[in-house]
Amino acid sequence: MDTTFRLGGAGDYADEEELELGLGLSLTSGAYAPSSNGPLSNQVVGWPPVKTYRMNSLVNQAKFSKNEGEKGAGEESTSKKKKNKNHENKNDETVTKETGHSGFVKVNMDGLPIGRKVDLNAHDCYETLAKALEIMFLKASTSASFIRTEKQQRSRLLDGSSEFVLTYEDKEGDWMLVGDVPWRMFLGTVKRLRIMKTSDANGLAPRFQEKNQKPKNKHIELKR
């Protein structure tokens, strides 16, 4: 077997494989530093490589300790820890110790035999959740397509422009359209998610309206 190894240059590969240093980071003079206070510019599946078990544990704790109101190390510890996440009123959605609510919920998509799991606690709004699901289900094949710019438009799963729409099953077993209730309320009630064909989802609207007595919104109000 010929063991000499000849390789082409970077041109062998599609442009998308090019090293993308942009990533929403500004490489100004001076030390490198991620420029945004927001999420990591690449929200991809399985990165950073922190075990599911650990993520669930940590995030459930964060909720718990916020609600406690007891900070032995002083008030500054809370604000120090939580500066980067904007959360709504902490006191209404109490997560009790016994819940052990896993941040991971199953997601299925019409037409695909397999389900995945998504960590709801890795997101603080519908937008990032929907984008993560887009990555997982709608753009599974390319490695670099997830690289995002700041100007990325709103997720198609939420604004009704895609042939698919994002729905969830709540605690009472009803299927609802994702996006109509405040994020934290959604977290407290969601059992699993389903990416449904928009045509199939039309039946949801009346039920949803009944339940909440308000007209279906085409544009989701994002809560931050």
Closest distance of CB 195 from another protein, Å: 13
For residue 187, report the phi and psi dihedrals to the nearest 5 degrees: -60, -35
Judged by CB under 8 A, does residue 135 bind another protein?
A: no
Contacts to another protein from residues 3-62, by CB under 8 A:
3, 5, 7-10, 12-13, 17, 19-21, 23, 25, 27, 31-55, 57-58, 61-62
Judged by CB under 8 A, does residue 205 bind another protein?
A: no
Residue closer to another protein, measured from CB, 151 or 214: 151
Question: Helix, strand, or coil here: 38?
Answer: coil
Closest distance of CB 156 from another protein, Å: 18
> What is the per-residue binding string for another protein in 71-90, x denoting contact by CB under 8 A?
-xx---x--xx-xxx-----
Residues 15, 114, 171, 210: which binds another protein (CB under 8 A)? Answer: 114
Is-contact 24 37, C-beta < 8 A? no
| 86-118 residues labelled b (16+ CB within 10 A) or e (exposed) | eeeeeeebebeeeeebbbbbebbbeeeeeebbb
CA distance 176 to 167: 5
